[in-house]
Structure 1
Amino acid sequence: MGCRTTRRMWLRAVPGAAGWMILPSRLSASSYRANEKLDIALVGVGKRGRWHAQAIGRIGQNLAAVCDADRTKVAQVLERKPEVPVYQDFRRMLDQRQGQIDAVVIATPDHTHAVIAARAMERGKHVYVEKPIAHDVGEARRLRLLARRYQVATQMGNQGMATDSFRRTVELIQDGVVGQIREVHVWYVFGGSGPQARPQGRPPIPEGLDWDLWLGPAPFRPYHPSYVTSWWAWRDFGTGVLGGGGSHSIHVAFKALNLGALWEEGNSGRIIVEGEVAEPCPENFPRWEKLRFHIPARGTLPPVCIHWYDGSEAELRRQGIWQKLEKIAGRPLQWKDSWTPRSGTLLVGSRGVVHTNAHNSICVLLPEERLPEAAGPPERFPHVAGHQQEWVEACRGGPAPLSNFDHSGPAMELLLLGNVFSRVVQPLEFDPVGCRVLNHEGADRGLRPPRRQSWEV
């Protein structure tokens, strides 16, 4: 397995890389004070990880270590911060810097999110995990339990929940402004790759990449560069659009409609998942899928059906889905100046409709001339400076972030259940409290797919 990189090893592996040295951290994880910087380690230095490497400093905290299974990826970070300690194996980093790290940010491919987060929490470290927090339903359940056991601050990286618009919209829905909601629509104009054959040939593993470490808990397969560059297309590594996109778009509905109550001890409600997919995709994700999550009543809240659509816009139009959504909204679906501006969420109430962008960061109550402004500020939820800042304050002993694992764990269980459905394409009955599929043994096993030895969560 990978080990901590020495300067000589680094310069040999990465021509032109800047030199670096180890600087001891000032405070242990258990002794930092409110006016001290947190020492934050970063695992995963791809595109999103490099953004985090800069963001940690921008919000006034200390980048205490960086780690990636591919040593060559860390070069760009070292150009800006040559003094930061570098590791290849996150386990070695956690062992060697136990007293010098307060928290860990995780921005690796989806299949290693949970195992890294689990090892960090077991050592008492606060964790910020890029969405989705887990690769499968069982991992999401395990992370929620570990966070409770070790009493650490947790956050999933879905920034929309930190906006005033999100928080005020949740308040307005809870106050009954749009009436009872029995219907939710979430759509993405991406689609999956469809079934693909595994790439042929066995090219050499590049110098600097620990392939076994990159695979982590996933079943072994020989190296091929397409797995590294397109990991999101393969079920062993990615979570499809449900994990990558739904993990942004589900939260207004999940929070405002109190879906989390179904995961509370003593609740006997069952979730039914049914739908259609373009084709069987045992190793990849279907080109299009239409799922329906039938959610039972929660206290005084009525049952609700969450419709999920993912496919190209042309496919959604061909099936009449796009036209139906525009009719519900009463306006065009496109957002200006928004990530994936033609994806989004609609919550259909008896007195109005909520339309959000894909991040749930911009929300509008329709019709606008009759319903209140949803841009904020929130009245019951706190206003926060930003998603990362909210987590940092929780690390210091402040309130838990809205997207802590008590919220994002169940939300991801719901979404990742959809990936189990698309394997078997049969209606599934899910027990949220027991974390079981009650009517299909294969699907129940799919909640917790096998992992390689020593990589259990």
Structure 2
Amino acid sequence: MEEIMPRHESRRTVLKSLAAIGAGLYVGPVARADDSKSPNEKLNLGLVGVGGRGYANLQGVASQNLVALCDVDPRQAKTAFEALPQSTKYADFRRMLDGETLDGVVVSTTDHLHVPIALNAMRRGLPVYVEKPLGHNVWETRLAAQVAREQQVATQLGTQIHAGDNYRRVVELVRAGAIGPIEEVHVWVGKGWGGGTRPTDTPPTPEGLDWDLWLGPAPQRSYHPTYLPANWRRWWDFGSGTLGDMGCHYLDLVFWSLGLKYPTAVAAAGPPPDAETAPVGMTATWDFPARTVEPAADGAAGGEMPAVKVTWYDGDRAPRELHGIKLSGSGVLFVGKEGQLLADYGSRKLFPQEAFADFTPPEPSIPASIGHHAEWIRAVKTGDPTTCDFAYSGPLTETVLLGLVAYRLGRPIAWDAETLTVPDVPEAAALIRPPYRAGWEIA
């Protein structure tokens, strides 16, 4: 999801299209967050992080009034800043929240700033759209979901593929029992955000970049271009490797299909853990208990589900074949007692193919999404639910991050979701709730 625009699309083309958005942007008296909004009335939004992935999210909410843009790096924000001259520009999200009266906030920063920004906004009663993963550690992820529930604000995690039709058809196949009870699922992503050695040289900080704000709650270190604009994902202090970057996208399909919430046991394997960076390839497994899945408001059928083991592979550990099925790229393989279901973002296949030659899929029951960003916009205006609110995406993100806890501990763990602890492994606490830099503490 790092690709922000087609490679053939020039910056001039992008500026031209955004200028069209900016030309119709009204920045005047700002409606208060507690004012009721009719479905046809535009929201006044503040965006934190408008370069990189934030540019795509800006496009996703461009139908609304983008009254404030915030980014610590004017180099990355240049396209958005120039295209929307009427909006107020900020480097510090706290100044933006203090200085603007908004209806919602879109957060597209590095992982380690997602929750500090979202908490600040939600505790002001503001709805938030947050890029994945929701949090940078398990404890703050749970806290974000708790505050969203207490404040009763509209939330949405940036798992945009959830809005696609293919995921809906896969969920319907699983819930209809097309391949029978599922006790085993495999998920793989072929790329690898990992490796690297902490630089020792200290080049000057680029003009305009507020490095201290970019660090936020992370431990103090000197600026280096190796971290920006995208390689921060490799570093534990800022990102969560490939599993943190892509896990919420692919495990989303598993969570939705199987009605999962919290695992009870987690294990991981890979090269010896590095104190600074994620591995170039790893595996993780999560054990989930048997459960009763209630019929969902989105139309997905309910039913009894057996205990299931979910296995993740990334980077150089991605498999090329499982259960006799050739694999490539990235995807999900559901293994049922009566067959297998192979899926990715846009396709699905049942195996053995000869056994399903005359198979008739169930009638579609989950309606098409109006769009992932559009769901959140509608929710802010009307109170309608979103499909990836923090009640759903919180446990999804926690599961992803627990895979990294097990990997960094170098041992399997039993997980107590109620207390957020790993019984009998005290060293796990520092990974579940690591310290925050002075002045950036959250509670």
* TM-score of the aligned structures, taking structure 2 as reference length: 0.86
- Work out whether 1:231 is the aligned partner of 2:232: yes
Q: Which residue number corresponds to residue 107 of structure 2?
A: 106
AA matched with 2:209: L
Question: Distance between the aligned counterparts of 1:134 and 1:33, measured in 2?
Answer: 31
- Work out whether 1:96 is the aligned partner of 2:99: yes
- Work out whether 1:347 is the aligned partner of 2:350: no
Q: Which residue number corresponds to residue 11 of structure 2?
A: none
Question: Distance between the aligned counterparts of 1:403 and 1:257, measured in 2?
Answer: 15
Question: Distance between the aligned counterparts of 2:239 and 2:174, measured in 1?
Answer: 33
- 8 Å contact kept, 1:192–1:284: no
CA deviation string 1:70-126 (max 9, x = no partner): 1333321132221111011000000110x2x11111111111111111111111111
Q: Which residue number corresponds to residue 219 of structure 1?
A: 219
* Partner SS state of residue 53, structure 2: helix
Q: Which residue number corresponds to residue 297 of structure 2?
A: none
Return closer, same or farther for 1:303/1:51 CA change in 2, 3 Å cut-off: same
Question: Distance between the aligned counterparts of 1:397 and 1:364, measured in 2?
Answer: 38
Map 1:176-255 → 2, pairs under 5 A = 176-194=177-195, 196-229=196-229, 230-255=231-256
AA matched with 1:50: Y
Question: Distance between the aligned counterparts of 2:145 and 2:209, measured in 1?
Answer: 31
Q: Which residue number corresponds to residue 68 of structure 1?
A: 71
Question: Distance between the aligned counterparts of 1:193 and 1:392, measured in 2?
Answer: 35
- 8 Å contact kept, 2:132–2:157: yes
* Partner SS state of residue 245, structure 1: helix
Question: Distance between the aligned counterparts of 1:82 and 1:284, measured in 2?
Answer: 38
Residue 47 of structure 1 deviates from its aligned partner by 1.6
Question: Distance between the aligned counterparts of 2:204 and 2:242, measured in 1?
Answer: 31
- Work out whether 1:304 is the aligned partner of 2:300: no
Return closer, same or farther for 1:259/1:439 CA change in 2, 3 Å cut-off: farther
* Partner SS state of residue 444, structure 1: helix
Residue 373 of structure 1 deviates from its aligned partner by 4.0
Runs (4+) off by over 6 Å: 18-22
Q: Which residue number corresponds to residue 4 of structure 1?
A: none
Map 1:28-427 → 2, pairs under 5 A = 28-31=32-35, 32-57=37-62, 60-97=63-100, 99=101, 101-194=102-195, 196-229=196-229, 230-260=231-261, 262=262, 271-299=264-292, 300-312=304-316, 316=318, 321-324=319-322, 327=324, 330=325, 332-334=326-328, 342-357=329-344, 359=345, 361-366=346-351, 367=353, 368-373=356-361, 378-379=364-365, 381-427=366-412
Question: Distance between the aligned counterparts of 2:43 and 2:190, measured in 1?
Answer: 39
Residue 197 of structure 1 deviates from its aligned partner by 2.7
Q: Which residue number corresponds to residue 441 of structure 2?
A: 456
- 8 Å contact kept, 2:321–2:327: no
* Partner SS state of residue 42, structure 1: strand
Return closer, same or farther for 1:183/1:152 CA change in 2, 3 Å cut-off: same
Residue 292 of structure 1 deviates from its aligned partner by 1.6
AA matched with 1:102: D
Question: Distance between the aligned counterparts of 2:85 and 2:397, measured in 1?
Answer: 37
User: Can you give the 5+ residue segments of structure 1 that lack an aligned partner in the other structure?
Assistant: 1-17, 263-269, 335-341
AA matched with 1:200: T
Question: Distance between the aligned counterparts of 2:141 and 2:358, measured in 1?
Answer: 40
Question: Distance between the aligned counterparts of 1:23 and 1:302, measured in 2?
Answer: 53
- 8 Å contact kept, 1:154–1:401: yes
Aligned length: 405
Residue 323 of structure 1 deviates from its aligned partner by 2.3
Return closer, same or farther for 1:398/1:371 CA change in 2, 3 Å cut-off: farther
- 8 Å contact kept, 1:365–1:373: no
Q: Which residue number corresponds to residue 11 of structure 1?
A: none
* TM-score of the aligned structures, taking structure 1 as reference length: 0.83
AA matched with 1:287: V
| TM-align CA RMSD | 2.3
Question: Distance between the aligned counterparts of 2:93 and 2:431, measured in 1?
Answer: 27
Q: Which residue number corresponds to residue 435 of structure 1?
A: 420
AA matched with 2:321: Q
AA matched with 1:49: G
- 8 Å contact kept, 2:103–2:126: yes
